[in-house]
Amino acid sequence: MWRPYIVSNKYGKRQAMRDTKLYESKKKAINSMKKKNNNWMSLNYDDQFINDAGFEYGAIDVGAGRYKFKKGKEGNKKLLKFHDSQY
């Protein structure tokens, strides 16, 4: 199973956040995260703010477990390190 996540670059600080739902494939997970974020952002912010955020999307294979990184801020920091190591 795959858990989608998003990385934001707003305000000069990179942050990662995960979705609550799991998906059968990496592609489905990323597409869902993009759609959810686009809907949220277009409702709450203008195009300039959205462009400045420089969103990046990904998904992590959580296997039979529900989390590859523990829940919370520290887990999100480890997720960001994982994301950055992929590029």
pLDDT at 50: 87
pTM given for the model: 0.89
| Domain chopping of the chain, boundaries | 2-85
DSSP letter string over 10-49?
Answer: GGG--EEEE-S--BSSHHHHHHHHHHHHHHHHHHHS-HHH
Mean pLDDT taken over the chain: 93
User: Judging by beta carbons within 10 Å of its beta carbon (0-12, 13-18, 19+), is residue 5 exposed, middle or buried?
Assistant: buried
Tell me: the pLDDT tens digits for 57-69? 999 999 888 889 9
Residue 11 has pLDDT above 80, yes or no: no
